[in-house]
Amino acid sequence: MGFNTFSFMLLSLLLSPSVQTMAAAGGRDRSSLNAEWKFSRFESNPDSLSYDGMKAWILPSANDYIDGDGHQRPSGTPPGSDVEYVKPDFSDDSWETIDLPHDWAIKGPFNPPGSTGHMGRLPTNGVGWYRKKVSFTDKDLTKNLYLDVDGAYSYAAVWLNGVLVGGWPYPFNSWRLDLTPYAKSGDNQLAIRLDNALESSRWYPGAGIYRNVWLVKVNPTHIAHSGTYVSTPKVSAESASINVAVLVENSGNSTQEVDVSTQIFVYDANTKKATGDAVASLQQGTISVERGKKQSANASVDLANPQLWGPPPNQKPNQYVAITKLFAKNSTDPIDTYETPFGLRSIIFDATKGVLVNGEALRLQGTCNHHDLGSLGAAFNVRAAERQQQMLQEMGSNALRTSHNPPAPEYLEISDRLGMLVLDEIFDTWNNPKLEQDFHSIFPDWREPDTRNFVRRDRNHPSVIAWSVGNEIPEQGNDQGTETGTALRSFAKAEDPVRPVTLGMNGGGANTGLAAVIDIKGLNYLGEGGGTDNNSAFPSFRDKFPDSFIFTTESASTVSTRGTFLFPVADGDVTVIPNEYNEPRPGTDDEHRWVSSYDLYVPQHGATPDKVFRQQTKYNYVGGEFVWTGFDYLGEPWPYDSSRSSYFGIIDLAGFKKSRFYLYQAHWRPEFPMAHILPHWTWPTDRVNQTTPIHVYTSGDEAEVFINGESQGRKKKGKEEWRLRWDNVTYRPGNVSVVAYKEGAEWARDEVRTVGTATKLNVMADRTAIKGDGLDLSFVSVFVTDDESGVDPVAVNEITFEVEGPGEIVSTDNGDPTDLTEFPSLKRKAFMGRALAIVRAKKGEAGSVRVKATAEGLAQGTAEIQVVLVPNIGSAFARESLRDPRVLVGNTPNSQTNAPLDSKASLSNALVDFLLDLELLGGSGSEHADVDLGVGDVNAERGGFLESLLEVGLAGSRTRCGGARFLCEMSLVTDTVDAEAVGLDEADDAGGTIGFGVVEIDVVVVIWRVSD
């Protein structure tokens, strides 16, 4: 059952900060350097520079993350001073002007010389130069000036005014350089060089400065980079012990005495601001910091009745923020202010019960994901990453593994906000290579600073529950692996003594030294057994480590092409596809490079979802899994290397759900009524009367299937069955329906039908309002349909996209791994009836964006998107959902009740009760008795309240409640099956934009306090 979102907004958006500059607050200024860089890529080295030649000048950049003596910067002229690209007077007028984040390869073309499938067939290799003018005032030069780079691929080297400052070779870590010694008053020339080998990654890594870049100005005495650590040794519903450690750095010319104090506030993750009054205060006291040194200051406090952070649906991801201030002696004005968001939660890895989050026993229902964002490439975008995490939550996932590298900082902020559990991972290789030009060569020099940097940056995120220091390391079974694992664990523990350290092992076994070193035992595929082999490593690890948490760091690797069903269908619940083309390859179509979506086909090492469920049920002490993968990703396109992207995802590269999505949803969300039929039921005439197996994924325990109203029998799930199969039915045009049952009562329904001739395009935007900040996105889906809006499941019509208004189409896609059309193309063939356009708002512009899709012989389709300039909004003090938010993409994971709202009247009543409880609709004794939503007496016509709100919402972009003090937002989220089920028809829509019908309604209400 698919879900789409239509939002009626009294405030246009779920607001989050769009301004990327933080004014100097307490002596600290952090501003974005993302805009207007000059860029040029060279396929061959244009400057004769290399990492080896610059290494001695770059290694000192790591000194903050080395325990003991660091590296000394050599004397003399550093490399690159004579290269024209670093010189202030070099003319870069002919270079491309770009904004960051930037992935130079994603525009294509595909198949450049020397490219291979495993890196996505895109031009990632070469040398890239970035240049930007940065201006400093005389006052700026009295401060420390830092360049913060969140990620650059790869071997970054930085020059300021022609002098090599430093760099960082590992492309996935964030890093900081001190520009202070090289800065001057007026214009300064910043130049960054990146150098990418042809074969540096086993998947598509992107290329360029693909994350945010910041300029930080602070006083010489300040809180160090990532210099706070909030630990919570005791957490319960009654109280929490909070310790805040602060590292103060003095880069001035004399010893400084400073007072350190911290206040703790409730944190609004949407606005990224503290709310209300401080809930606790800590006095770290006065410390003396010698020049050129760092000094720590610690303090603790107990907080009664804390708001705990935890994953939905049973918990809420509440957050706090610690605001730390430094004061010079006898001064009341802070010389530095530093904000540290965090969450209060108890995490216990129990050897039998699973992961205990605030006492709730959870199994890890996780997915592995690479860092690309589909057709957007590696250039990070908050909305694109948020959409991915929300879709995975809708499926029932509660955990993410950042395979196989640290993510963007904002990715973890999203996880914090949504309540996802994160296994944060750093390395794919250690000392021994997987590819000749991967990052094993820099590992000996950088293993300590990379590991410490990674942990120090991410340790305050409540979503991060464990550190993974490796994946399928070649030396995992020998002494070198044991030594390295021991060292990496010690580095991580030095930065964060609390969280456990693990890695993904795919060999070596329980008796290796490395298995003993790591805290929790992560297995890649070993527990489930590869292919049809049912031999499991779980028992041997359980016998060796009876008190340790054991889990699957990587599972499944099932492959499929979305919407493609091939015959005959394999018996059993797992079938191996051989690597060799000269052997029979069941479940594949080599001509089209398709893999069947019956979800039964795997590589030799892999397993189907059914097999993983079976093995983890059998060995019920196993703490869960991370499926390979949540989304298809660029590169690694097994079993067809000539394709551009993988087949492993549960969701395809464009974000369209494969059948597998519903198999996981059925297992991971047993409380959610759902049923899903596969395959589609639109086949050519030569399939009539041919065997066409029907499979049903349902959270029920039995189901009955009907073809054209005729029962095909009622079946009940066996003890080790996670799908129901009718393998001997034959195809007859018409419709297939299923009625699922649970404990004897009807539970859910689904239906597919034979679709008629395609006549039109239906267009739907995932969000109908976006921020005009130049970053926000709307994902616009196009469906090739018949007259009754049934999606043609085999349509491949070429679609042309056009856009009018303050928006632009960034990329298009269709989820087809074999499609080598360049992503920026405005022409895209539908694949299995679907295509996607990603629309970005233009910065600083507001208005209506109209997206039009046309195809020869089909009626065009359009979607309207409102681009809104976000007002100055303060903190949100009320945000609740009236249904389980994981049902639908786009909701905030705060669930008030899971009671079904089966009509407009019941929804209206629930909404009125909710707002009255908050005392935001007036009433006797209400603090906000003057609040007026413009809908009359809500108690007099409670059942009509929703309809009145819809009218108000469609009349304007926002409504002020309580005079000028509040802004209110309501989002109505709808399903796509049958409008009559809740009595909502197109007349209620007042604009015809629902269109697809409604089965379940979710309302999110946000009341915002307006800043003065």
Q: Across residues 536-555, what is the average pLDDT?
A: 98
Which residues are CB-neighbours of 350 under 8 A, at least 6 positions away?
A: 356, 361, 549, 623
pLDDT in tens, 268-326: 998 899 999 999 999 999 999 999 999 999 999 999 999 999 999 999 999 999 999 99
Integer Cα distance of 798 and 988 in angstroms:
34
pLDDT in tens, 337-375: 999 999 999 999 999 999 999 999 999 999 999 999 999
Give the pairing of strands 399-402 and 575-576.
unpaired
How many Cβ atoms sit within 10 Å of the Cβ of residue 900?
Answer: 12
Residue with tokens 């050519």, as numbered in its chain: 684
- Tell me what pLDDT residue 115 has: 81
4: in domain: no
Smallest CA-to-CA distance from 205 within 558, 614, 633 is with: 633
User: Are 884 and 843 within one domain?
Assistant: no
User: Are 802 and 741 within one domain?
Assistant: no
| 962-980 per-residue burial string, b: 16 or more CB within 10 A, e: under 16 | beebbbbbbbbbbbbbebe
For residue 869, the Cα-to-chain-centroid distance in whole angstroms is 25
User: Are 284 and 429 within one domain?
Assistant: no
pLDDT at 172 over 90: yes
More confident residue, 526 or 19: 526
Q: How many residues does the chain have?
A: 1012
Integer Cα distance of 322 and 210 in angstroms:
29
273: in domain: yes
Please report which confidence band the pLDDT of residue 998 belongs to, taking 50, 70 and 90 as the band edges. very low
Give the per-residue SS3 of 451-486.
HHHHHHHHCCCCCEEEEEEEECCCCCCCHHHHHHHH
Please report which confidence band the pLDDT of residue 424 belongs to, taking 50, 70 and 90 as the band edges. very high
The DSSP call for residue 688 is: B
Please report which confidence band the pLDDT of residue 916 belongs to, taking 50, 70 and 90 as the band edges. low
Beta bridge mates, 881: 895, 1004
1: in domain: no
CB 311 within 8 A of CB 357: yes
Tally the C-alpha atoms within 13 A of residue 234's C-alpha that lie toward its C-beta: 10
Helix, strand, coil % over all residues of the chain, rounded to 5 = 15, 35, 45
Please report which confidence band the pLDDT of residue 583 belongs to, taking 50, 70 and 90 as the band edges. confident
* 965 three-class SS: coil
Q: Across residues 1002-1012, what is the average pLDDT?
A: 40
- Tell me what pLDDT residue 139 has: 97
For residue 379, give Cα distances in angstroms to 374, 382, 826, 872, 991: 10, 10, 20, 28, 36
Number of domains in the chain: 6
Q: Across residues 984-997, what is the average pLDDT?
A: 29
Q: pTM, whole model, 2 decimals?
A: 0.87
Identify the burial level of 333 via C-beta atoms within 10 angstroms of its C-beta, where 0-12 means exposed, 13-18 middle and 19 or more buried.
Answer: exposed
- Tell me what pLDDT residue 925 has: 40
- Look at residues 625, 643, 668 and tell me which one is the last residue of a structural domain: 668
pLDDT at 968 over 70: no
Integer Cα distance of 967 and 959 in angstroms:
6
Q: What is the CATH number of the domain that holds 719?
A: 2.60.40.10
- Tell me what pLDDT residue 909 has: 60
What are the backbone angles phi and psi of residue 633, rounded to the nearest 5°? -140, 160
**Residues 646, 652, 658, CA angle at the centre, nearest 5°?**
115
User: Are 63 and 155 within one domain?
Assistant: yes
pLDDT in tens, 467-520: 999 999 999 999 999 999 999 999 999 999 999 999 999 999 999 999 999 999
- Tell me what pLDDT residue 580 has: 82
- Look at residues 827, 845, 868 and tell me which one is the last residue of a structural domain: 868
User: How much of the chain exceeds pLDDT 90, in percent?
Assistant: 81
pLDDT at 976 over 60: no
Residue with tokens 């030594």, as numbered in its chain: 483
Identify the burial level of 287 via C-beta atoms within 10 angstroms of its C-beta, where 0-12 means exposed, 13-18 middle and 19 or more buried.
Answer: middle
pLDDT in tens, 885-912: 222 222 222 333 333 334 445 555 655 5
User: Are 416 and 466 within one domain?
Assistant: yes
User: Are 190 and 279 within one domain?
Assistant: no
**Active-site residue, selected from the candidate residues 413, 448, 554, 625:** 554
The kind and range of the H/E element at 889 are: none
Q: For the chain, how far is it from start to end, CA to CA, in angstroms?
A: 45
pLDDT in tens, 79-109: 999 999 999 999 999 999 999 999 999 999 9
- Tell me what pLDDT residue 943 has: 53
- Tell me what pLDDT residue 999 has: 29
Residue with tokens 């699922």, as numbered in its chain: 740
Please report which confidence band the pLDDT of residue 120 belongs to, taking 50, 70 and 90 as the band edges. very high
pLDDT at 39 over 50: yes
The sign one gets for the Cα dihedral 680, 686, 688, 690 is negative
Tokens, residue 577: 């596809």
- The average confidence (pLDDT) of the chain is 87
The sign one gets for the Cα dihedral 190, 195, 200, 202 is positive
Please report which confidence band the pLDDT of residue 962 belongs to, taking 50, 70 and 90 as the band edges. very low
Q: Across residues 138-156, what is the average pLDDT?
A: 98
Which residues are CB-neighbours of 31 under 8 A, at least 6 positions away?
A: 20, 21, 22, 214, 215
Report the amino acid identity of residue 733.
P
User: Are 606 and 679 within one domain?
Assistant: no
227: in domain: yes
pLDDT at 449 over 90: yes
Integer Cα distance of 640 and 594 in angstroms:
9
User: Are 197 and 253 within one domain?
Assistant: no
- Tell me what pLDDT residue 912 has: 58
- Give the start-end residues of each E strand in 200-317: 213-218, 221-235, 239-250, 256-268, 273-289, 293-304
Q: What is the CATH number of the domain that holds 103?
A: 2.60.120.260
Identify the burial level of 61 via C-beta atoms within 10 angstroms of its C-beta, where 0-12 means exposed, 13-18 middle and 19 or more buried.
Answer: buried
For residue 864, the Cα-to-chain-centroid distance in whole angstroms is 26
10: in domain: no
User: Are 626 and 509 within one domain?
Assistant: yes
User: Are 310 and 339 within one domain?
Assistant: yes
pLDDT in tens, 681-723: 999 999 999 999 999 999 999 999 999 999 999 999 999 999 9
Integer Cα distance of 317 and 661 in angstroms:
24
Integer Cα distance of 457 and 529 in angstroms:
36
How many Cβ atoms sit within 10 Å of the Cβ of residue 409?
Answer: 17
Q: Across residues 29-43, what is the average pLDDT?
A: 98
Helix and strand counts by DSSP (H, E) for the chain: 12, 54
pLDDT in tens, 212-228: 999 999 999 999 999 99
The DSSP call for residue 297 is: E
CB 380 within 8 A of CB 408: yes
Q: Across residues 809-831, what is the average pLDDT?
A: 99
- Tell me what pLDDT residue 149 has: 99
Sheet architecture: strand order including 347-350:
347-350, 354-357, 360-362
Integer Cα distance of 627 and 649 in angstroms:
9
CB 780 within 8 A of CB 851: yes
pLDDT in tens, 661-684: 999 999 999 999 999 999 999 999
Tokens, residue 788: 């009754």
Q: Across residues 11-23, what is the average pLDDT?
A: 31
Please report which confidence band the pLDDT of residue 26 belongs to, taking 50, 70 and 90 as the band edges. confident
7: in domain: no
- Look at residues 868, 893, 914 and tell me which one is the last residue of a structural domain: 868
Q: Across residues 778-807, what is the average pLDDT?
A: 98
Q: What residues make up the domain containing 864? A: 760-868
Residue with tokens 């004397």, as numbered in its chain: 75
The kind and range of the H/E element at 116 are: none
Q: Is 820 left (phi over 0), alpha (psi -120 to 50) or beta?
A: alpha
What are the backbone angles phi and psi of residue 538, rounded to the nearest 5°? -55, -50
Q: Across residues 742-758, what is the average pLDDT?
A: 97
- Tell me what pLDDT residue 24 has: 46
In the residue annotation, 554 being an active-site residue is answered as yes
In the residue annotation, 743 being an active-site residue is answered as no
Beta bridge mates, 709: none
Integer Cα distance of 782 and 798 in angstroms:
11
Sheet architecture: strand order including 745-753:
710-716, 702-707, 735-742, 745-753
Beta bridge mates, 644: none
Tokens, residue 635: 């590169």
The DSSP call for residue 199 is: T
CB 641 within 8 A of CB 116: yes
User: Are 249 and 395 within one domain?
Assistant: no
Integer Cα distance of 410 and 407 in angstroms:
8
Which residues are CB-neighbours of 766 under 8 A, at least 6 positions away?
A: 4, 5, 387, 778, 779, 780, 781, 889, 890
Please report which confidence band the pLDDT of residue 915 belongs to, taking 50, 70 and 90 as the band edges. low
**Active-site residue, selected from the candidate residues 472, 475, 495, 625:** 472
pLDDT at 22 over 50: no
Q: Across residues 56-84, what is the average pLDDT?
A: 97
- Tell me what pLDDT residue 116 has: 84
Which residues are CB-neighbours of 522 under 8 A, at least 6 positions away?
A: 468, 502, 503, 504, 505, 551, 552, 553
pLDDT in tens, 584-633: 899 999 999 999 999 999 999 999 999 999 999 999 999 999 999 999 99
Peptide bond into 101 cis (omega under 30): yes
419: in domain: yes
- Tell me what pLDDT residue 206 has: 98
| C-alpha dihedral, 869 to 873 to 875 to 878, nearest 10° | -70
User: Are 201 and 312 within one domain?
Assistant: no
Please report which confidence band the pLDDT of residue 657 belongs to, taking 50, 70 and 90 as the band edges. very high
3: in domain: no
* Rg of the chain over all Cα atoms, to the nearest angstrom: 28
Which residues are CB-neighbours of 687 under 8 A, at least 6 positions away?
A: 731
CB 177 within 8 A of CB 192: no
pLDDT in tens, 732-744: 999 999 999 999 9
Integer Cα distance of 302 and 926 in angstroms:
33
Please report which confidence band the pLDDT of residue 844 belongs to, taking 50, 70 and 90 as the band edges. very high
